[in-house]
Structure 1
């Protein structure tokens, strides 16, 4: 990023952006303590701290109010943590002196406390450091706000939450304490409910923010606006017009050194049960009463509870050749690296419409998209159905875009038809506009107390109810994955399942984002 763009962003945000916004009562003031637990881990370094830095440089975190604390078992100093983080915030060799100055100011806000995750000593020390900050930053009418971000494995959530509850809760009237927990939220229905019960015994539901970064993506956030603010889509969004819906996640690389971790979960737990199922809810839900968090989440829960049990014949699992070559993966691993699952909804809007949810690693491309295919035009006087159906495609990443595939007349003297598209490509249409990272948006929502884009407990329970029977069969070796070549489309059986579901491929059609020229 050049220094000119950096200056523009600071001008645009620093003077006008709210520091913290209570959805009901307006801006909040007073000290804000953000504690990143697991501060020395990869998630914190690569996602959490960079997101906090971007919020700071855009003016959403004020140096007059905020202090950021790192907490982990590693024994290091404040400066050592800052040195470890700086390379993840900016590329120093490409940075201007102004950029480096902003980074230095941000790093100065970070303090570090080391200690175990299951002992009061470290958390008592953390509380003392937070109190020092609060005594300096909280005015007579200000609030004491404490946000704990658990960039940690779920196995330590209960002990860490217990220590927070025992030692580190907000101590002022009118302030708050909030806890952000990362996925995976358990491995199945039983473990997820156990985890929810343990955390729920310590904190009220409004204090718990179960983060799924897919809900922070720009095009996912656009779904409610697209569906409910455009008359064009309202009459079309149902079983009378839509033939099928695909929600696809593809990666062109394998586990890349994470084989041991990935093998404990597999592609369904890692991607489908959480990220893609959240997208599924936003596509299929009914219009909420309002944009309040609980009204939106009520509708998502209704959709999940309407999903019928998954049929064996509507599931294809795959494992890429070479996956078991990873020394951290068992030689007899049954863990799928690819899955294609058809979900069906038993309600008036969607009866008979297959929702094909598909995710895989080591495939021939990298993308995440929603593909809504419409039914054939009755009475095809142009005899053009073989060219393909109308499709509405929402590209979540990379190259964020929305485009509608249409049949149009080929330019020329003949009355011949061709597939083309109406295209809204974000990089072309919104030049110079920075699309926020998902973690930036969701951390800001947590500070503001907006739970709209976070997972509620009953929603989590309903999602696990859909997949737990299938996952147990996979874990028990009763459901075997097909092998597929790394760099391919995945197992051939997945394409057969797609065809069986009624999806019609568009021959020789390839979408490419428009040029910026």
Structure 2
């Protein structure tokens, strides 16, 4: 056979090769199953920023929950890394008060797996010490595959230098006899930039060091029980499918309310504001789950493909469809500008109501009302899908004030309920609104619903990126809000004051009514009471 000569690949051949690669990749997705950990895995979880608030309040308690309930490998070690000079015991003493809900024996066993390495983020010395710890640990079990999960409980400003240190000194696994089954993964926390350009810059820095399949951008709302239930509920129930479009849905309202202000964290919050802090990430993810089409499989990229597709159909909101607010002092509580950590005269919004539209066949013309605020009258996060009024309403009363609604409450007290119009008991035929109610704490009294972080960390350990944000998904979300954010930063959008513990600016109610939301005036929620058996 003649020696093969190198030839120039034509444009058509290149396109064909690309097509074959895509087809192969797609068929690989068809056989995908949820990953499971190998029986023998030397797992090391590195918590960068271990001495900080996020690590002690969220990361370590989540790891402790997984350890307590048997979800971590038997051969696991959790290594903290930060600039603070601490001993292993000092770290354990620092963490112990945040693990109060864990039985003492499990808590102490978990803490025994925790150790600490101190070092700077911007020079190699500390990373080299950390690498020595990792190599020594894995060399003790040379036949086992090794897994290294780097959790960055740090501000994004140091991500590039931290990831460079990890990549150059801590990402080579040489001891395993099964290198194909060993892995390195990096979990990064939001905020991922402040607008589209800064997000892309950060993504470029990280992408130069780690490929997309090794990066896990965490948004804890994707780990919430009811977010994941929204996905199952939508695509597992036949009766919902014909309702889920502009034909029957009048509007969708996605709400996030906190009943407290910045509480001394105004310096951090003022840098970002409510849109960057909550809406651009958490609430837009909820919108994507409401609006997306059914994926062809449960492969993480099939799911994320559909989320990206629906996000790309959303145009930036017009300023006419935006109401911003900032809370003021009331009922003995300080206003936002009274927080000493907030710059004087700040125009950072603590409340936003934004109407978005999805320009596709399913949702054309349906307003998605996204609302978030601090220092409001209650703590709540929910999705509320309101249907059109019943045509030719033959009963007494106004049909427009008697609408069906499907509500998914994420917090507090997880629940799903449907508002139904039924006959009021009695001799008259009077329609009233009641509900079909799935209250999680009543229906599943013995089930522990964990915080979102254990679920997401477990997914990262398993290698399941389904509940993490992909780069193109992040880009599509920032593209929606960046024009508005620039207008807000330039002072082009009015900021309406609202009293602490109120429902927010009255202008937000007017906006909601203008785009078609209708209050069910005759509906009165009745709290559940225990009825003797």
Q: What's the TM-score once normalised by structure 1's chain length?
A: 0.92
Q: 2: distance between equivalents of 1:109 and 1:25?
A: 22
Q: Among 4, 17, 35, which residue is 2:46 paired with?
A: 35
Unaligned 5+ runs, structure 2:
1-31, 329-334
Q: Deviations over 1:408-461 (max 9, x none)?
A: 100111111211000000000001100121000000000000000000000000
Q: Does residue 377 of the first structure (1) align with residue 401 of the second (2)?
A: no
Among 92, 106, 110, the residue aligned to 1:106: 110
Task: Give the counterpart of 1:501 among 510, 515, 519.
Answer: 515
Matching of residue 412 in structure 1 with residue 435 in structure 2? no
**In the TM superposition, what is the alpha-carbon distance from 1:387 to its structure 2 partner?**
4.3
Partner of 2:249: 242
* 1:271-292 Cα shifts (integer Å, max 9, x gaps): 0000000000000000111110
Alignment counterpart, residue 326 of structure 1, candidates 339, 342, 352: 339
1:441 corresponds to 2:452: no
Contact map agreement 1:428 1:514 (CA 8 A) in 2:
no
Distance (Å, rounded) in 2 between the aligned partners of 1:508 and 1:48 = 45
Contact 1:22 1:448 in 2 (8 A): no
Partner of 2:365: 352
2:60 corresponds in structure 1 to 49
Alignment partners' CA distance in 1, 2:39 and 2:296:
27
Partner of 2:137: 133
Identify if the C-alpha distance between structure 1 residues 370 and 25 changes in structure 2 by more than 3 Å, giving closer, same or farther: closer
Paired position in structure 2 for 1:279: 286
Per-residue displacement from partner, 1:197-256 (whole Å, max 9, x unpaired)?
A: 000000010000000000000000011211111001000000000000000000010001
Matches of 2:298 and 2:115, distance apart in 1 = 37
Task: Tell me the distance in 2 between the aligned counterparts of 1:26 and 1:107.
Answer: 22
> Cα offset for 1:516?
5.2
Distance in 1 between residues matched to 2:258 and 2:231, nearest whole Å: 26
TM-score w.r.t. the length of structure 2 is 0.90
Which residue does 1:7 correspond to in 2?
none
Match of 1:17 in 2: none
Counterpart residue number, 1:262: 269
Give yes or no for contact 2:420–2:434 (8 Å, CA) kept in 1: yes
**Equivalent residues in 2 for 1:185-196 (5 A)?**
185-196=192-203
Give the Cα separation in 2 of the matches to 1:26 and 1:474: 46
SS at match of 1:145: strand
Whole-Å Cα distance in 2 between the matches of residues 241 and 393 of structure 1? 15
State the superposition RMSD in angstroms: 1.5
Deviation at 1:512, TM superposition (A): 5.1
Counterparts of 1:201 and 1:419, CA distance in 2 = 56
Map of 1:57-76 to 2, 5 A cutoff?
Answer: 57-62=68-73, 64-76=74-86
SS at match of 1:276: helix
Q: Secondary structure at the match of 1:265?
A: helix
Give the one of 73, 80, 94 matched to 1:84.
94
Determine if the alignment matches structure 1 residue 205 to structure 2 residue 212: yes
Following superposition, the deviation at residue 22 of structure 1 comes to 8.3
* Bigger radius of gyration: 2
Residues 418 and 83 (structure 1 numbering): CA distance in 2 closer, same or farther, change over 3 Å? same
Kindly state the Cα deviation for residue 132 of structure 1 after the two structures are TM-superposed: 2.2
